[in-house]
Amino acid sequence: MLLMFTTWLSEYISFFSVFNYITLRAVLATLTSLFLGLILGPIMIRYLSAIKFGQSVRDDGPQSHLQKTGTPTMGGSLILTGITSTTLLWADLSNRYVWVALLVTLSLGLSDSMMI
């Protein structure tokens, strides 16, 4: 999405043509995903703890695992949020392989998160 905007903007201001380089967009996507994870992580953990969507631990397991009772699960959804948002922001959305990779990642990630 931002690539389309900066490509249009580079016709008027040549500085913005630097966003056509995939290496810069990869670095910016990584930083965007990092900051999203740092900001949304604590919020998501509080929310999942509030709705008591936690890990159940079997009694016959090791004693050290009993500490994990109530630990929020679905942490992969935070990763999927970061991947999806940064892909939509920084990737070349006119490339069909971007869409294929995003849909495969989402389908595998969601199917893994839904396994109980």
Cβ atoms within 10 A of the Cβ of 30, count?
13
What is the residue-level pLDDT of the chain in tens, covering all 116 positions?
899 999 999 999 999 999 999 999 999 999 999 999 999 989 988 887 787 766 666 666 676 666 666 666 677 888 899 999 999 999 999 999 999 999 999 999 888 777 65
Q: What number of residues does the chain have?
A: 116
| Pair 3, 19: CB distance under 8 Å | yes
Q: What are phi and psi of 54, to 5 degrees?
A: -115, 175
Q: The whole model's pTM is what?
A: 0.76
